[in-house]
Structure 1
């Protein structure tokens, strides 16, 4: 029996101890194991997950200030099972990836607006939200020197991400006009506070701003008849504009219908969300950098997935790479080197 089988067996027993049904493994991403037993799920977090930040995040998810916004845990205990950190949560019904037209964009926008309105000081102390760090980590996982991987690395090097040596004011000219959205082909979607100053996401994202850190449609479940946010692995303080980065990136790459994007943004603002500015403001000065960084992250993840599966990139993945090339060209004065 392999280590993976041993882990799953132990998770089954833990799930059946907390749950009210037979245990079954739920398909998810490769580094995570989820086992459901009736009304609960047990999650083995990815290898290398750190205990203290996860405990803080689980405690925050259980806090009354996030009730109805973030799914609360069954228990605040973070267990260790065969070297993996494990948490227990109520089960919910996820968004159907096979029916993108039914995706709950309005509900998601309202939940994010409510999350961003919660003062971080109302919660137990939290680590930084995961948004910017996830970009570099995803690119770092790329292996080899293929043209696609090199393009992604080059584009990342051109982005003034929070914590990078250069700030937007330090970088040479040749950037797009503030708020300029990169053009892209229009194809249907096939799957799925204190905002920063224009052009500087995170610049004024003080400790009072709360962000999910890795929001996408897979981070929603219906529980008790209401949609709620899940997966608190990257919950923390930071610029909430990064929570809007994925749909903004899809839209900018031509992979999200304009009506869906504009409806999502309008619903977010109508619910009080301020990460993209007030209603009537141009959102792109705040969203450009997070959206471009997310495009790099999505492209890197696509390359890694395709290489592991031994298949060529598909149409959507090529669209992401095309957008990376446009970003690199628009920022062609970055480091004084042209994007080729």
Structure 2
């Protein structure tokens, strides 16, 4: 079978762009950083080329690139202002940044991450900025889970159906004056140091960037904390830094959970749904962390949220 030409052609794009940026490119072997349905990423020297998901909207992606260029102290600025087509995908180029080391969890930059999110949430959206895609991604993960049709899916689907319609992407997100610019898919893998390897931290991946409920960007760490996957000390560091940077997603004092509860539940469901689908595809049993997410969904299904986002605010 002939291999699809996307990766080699994307590699050529990264190589040409890297050479154009430097009169003497520190060449080495190109590296495929990711090759998934939701994005293929190739690195050559200090340059990265990304093929965005199929059916990505050109106008929306262009606005997202413009947003990244407008806040270079928060988001890694792109090298391209306009995406280029390649094998039916839209391609952009970026400077390479050093990612968070997954083997060194004690060095996780929780304070830097929280501060960047607070700055992003406080930046006025550009005219025409699309809606943040967080709830849509959660709904897509649940859709894949339904196709997997495993026993483990039952508590996850029950938890999903306790959420309000906006959190399931069935109705628009609430617009009560609290909508801000949001990342849409925040986790530690969305942080890099630029210039590599010791520059300041920046957020990457604009595919889900847009306007929405800023609590969604705090929801994954909140979900990990609620599931016992993030230590209370790390959660406190993250929350304290966000508040110190005057982030608008939560109040400056008091219990943040009424605001975070529904987004955190949605992210727990999304993460559990993705884990189950991946395990089913690989034909392997769920591991301990994946099972803890399903157990959390089981608890959520029996104790549905008492507050909607609107009443919590």
How does the TM-score come out when normalised to structure 2?
0.88
Aligned residue number for residue 2 of structure 2: 2
1:245 pairs with 213, 219, 242, which one? 219
The answer to whether 1:55 aligns with 2:29 is no
The answer to whether 1:25 aligns with 2:31 is yes
Q: How many residues align?
A: 293
Q: 1:125: Cα distance to partner? A: 2.0
Aligned residue number for residue 272 of structure 1: 246
Q: 1:3: Cα distance to partner? A: 5.0
The 3-state SS of whatever aligns with 1:47 is: coil
Q: 1:251: Cα distance to partner? A: 0.3
Q: 1:277: Cα distance to partner? A: 1.3
Q: 1:26: Cα distance to partner? A: 2.6
Q: 1:206: Cα distance to partner? A: 5.1
Counterparts in 2 of 1:41 and 1:261: CA distance versus 1, 3 Å: same
Q: 1:164: Cα distance to partner? A: 6.0
Aligned residue number for residue 116 of structure 1: 121
Is the 8 Å Cα contact of residues 69 and 228 (structure 1) preserved in structure 2? yes
How does the TM-score come out when normalised to structure 1?
0.82
Q: How does 1:117-196 map onto structure 2 within 5 Å?
A: 117-120=122-125, 123-142=126-145, 143-162=147-166
Distance 2:50 2:84 in 1: 10
CA deviations 1:177-211 (Å, max 9, x no partner) are xxxxxxxxxxxxxxxxxxxxxxxx8352555x110
Deviates more, 1:256-265 or 1:149-158: 149-158
Is the 8 Å Cα contact of residues 60 and 124 (structure 1) preserved in structure 2? no
Is the 8 Å Cα contact of residues 34 and 42 (structure 2) preserved in structure 1? no
Distance 1:250 1:260 in 2: 11
1:44 pairs with 47, 51, 56, which one? 51
Distance 1:144 1:289 in 2: 25
The 3-state SS of whatever aligns with 2:34 is: coil
List structure 1 runs of 4+ shifted beyond 3 angstroms. Answer: 163-167
Aligned residue number for residue 311 of structure 2: none
Runs of at least 5 residues in structure 2 that lack an aligned partner in the other structure = 19-24, 307-313
The 3-state SS of whatever aligns with 2:152 is: helix
The 3-state SS of whatever aligns with 1:28 is: strand
The 3-state SS of whatever aligns with 2:166 is: coil
Q: How does 1:320-335 map onto structure 2 within 5 Å?
A: 320-331=293-304
Aligned residue number for residue 236 of structure 1: 210
CA deviations 1:120-167 (Å, max 9, x no partner) are 2xx242100111111111111122322211222221111114176999
Is the 8 Å Cα contact of residues 136 and 169 (structure 2) preserved in structure 1? no
CA deviations 1:80-104 (Å, max 9, x no partner) are 1111111000100000111111111
Distance 1:9 1:249 in 2: 38
Is the 8 Å Cα contact of residues 158 and 331 (structure 1) preserved in structure 2? yes
The 3-state SS of whatever aligns with 1:27 is: strand
Q: 1:46: Cα distance to partner? A: 1.7
Distance 2:217 2:183 in 1: 6
Distance 1:71 1:216 in 2: 15
The answer to whether 1:78 aligns with 2:52 is no
The 3-state SS of whatever aligns with 1:112 is: helix
Aligned residue number for residue 297 of structure 1: 270
Counterparts in 2 of 1:213 and 1:249: CA distance versus 1, 3 Å: same
RMSD: 2.1
Aligned residue number for residue 310 of structure 2: none
Counterparts in 2 of 1:220 and 1:161: CA distance versus 1, 3 Å: farther
Q: How does 1:94-113 map onto structure 2 within 5 Å?
A: 94-113=99-118
Counterparts in 2 of 1:206 and 1:261: CA distance versus 1, 3 Å: closer
